[in-house]
Amino acid sequence: GEDVEQSLFLSVREGDSSVINCTYTDSSSTYLYWYKQEPGAGLQLLTYIFSNMDMKQDQRLTVLLNKKDKHLSLRIADTQTGDSAIYFCALNAGGTSYGKLTFGQGTILTVHP
Amino acid sequence: DVKVTQSSRYLVKRTGEKVFLECVQDMDHENMFWYRQDPGLGLRLIYFSYDVKMKEKGDIPEGYSVSREKKERFSLILESASTNQTSMYLCASSTGGGHTGELFFGEGSRLTVL
C-alpha cells in the first residue's frame, strides 16, 4: 500500500521559517494535502496542491512538490507561536476523489519565543 | 458553520465491553470515515462509507465494525474492547467524487480501555 513518511519533530524560533518534509511512494495521487492539528482538536486542512503543480503559495505558506523524487514540503514563513501544532501530509490513495486519504505520521512543530 | 460532531470526547471502558462511538455531520456529505490516531503512527483508516448502508474496510478493520443507517450518522463499534484499542478516534466526512477530496474532521474521541 501507500507509504507516507515524515520526520516526527521540528523545533524553530519565532520569526524563523519552518520547513516540514514528506516523502511518499504512490505516484498516482492527484492531490496532496497539508493538515494542521492543534492541541485537543481534530485536523483542519491548511492547503493542498494538485499533482501537476510544482509550487503553491498561500500567504505565509509555500508548498513545493517534486514528483520525480516523490517529495512534498511545507514552508511556513515568519513562524509564530500559534503555529505550534502537529502537521500531517496526506495523499488521495490511488488517485481517488472522494476523500480516502493516506496520512503521514505527523510532524510536531514547536515554536520557541 | 459546517460541523462534524463526535458524541463523546473521552471514554473509559473495561476490557471486553462493547463500545459505540457516534459521529454526526451536518454538511449532507456522502462519504464518512473513521480513523485511529496514535503517536508516531499518524492516522490509520479503520472503515469508511460512501453511501447509506454501504461500508468498506480500511487499513486496520480488525476488531471494529461500523453502521451507517442514516446519511448524517456513522457509528464505530468495538464489539469487545481490548487494551490495544486505547487510542484517539477521529471521524471525518467529505462530499462525493469530482472534487479535491478535502476531509472535515470531528474533534476526536479519546478511548481508554482498562
Secondary structure letter of residue B22 according to DSSP: E
Q: Which of residues 74-103 of B touch A (CB under 8 A)?
A: 90, 92-103
Q: Please list the rounded mean pLDDT of every run of 10 residues in chain B (114 residues).
A: 88 97 94 94 93 92 97 97 97 78 91 98
Residues in chain B closer than 8 A to A1 (CB atoms): 59
Distance between CA atoms of residues B71 and A12, nearest Å: 43
pLDDT at B1: 66
Give yes or no for a contact between B64 and B46, defined as CB atoms under 8 angstroms apart: yes
Q: What is the per-residue pLDDT across B42-74, written as a single tens digit (0 to 9) for each?
A: 999 999 999 999 999 999 999 999 999 999 999
Q: What is the dihedral of CA A68, A71, A72, A75, to 10 degrees?
A: -110
pLDDT at B99: 60
* CB-based contact B33 A99, cutoff 8 Å: yes
Q: Is A88 near chain B, with CB under 8 Å?
A: yes
Q: Is A24 near chain B, with CB under 8 Å?
A: no
* CB-based contact B90 A43, cutoff 8 Å: yes
Name the closest residue on chain B to residue A51, using Cα atoms.
B100
pLDDT at A3: 87
Q: In chain A, which stretches have pLDDT less than 70? A: 1, 93-98
Give the nearest partner residue to B101 out of A88, A92, A104, using CB atoms.
A92
Q: Are strands B65-70 and B73-78 parallel, antiparallel or unpaired?
A: antiparallel
Q: What is the per-residue pLDDT across A39-69, written as a single tens digit (0 to 9) for each?
A: 888 999 999 999 889 999 999 999 999 999 9
pLDDT at B95: 84
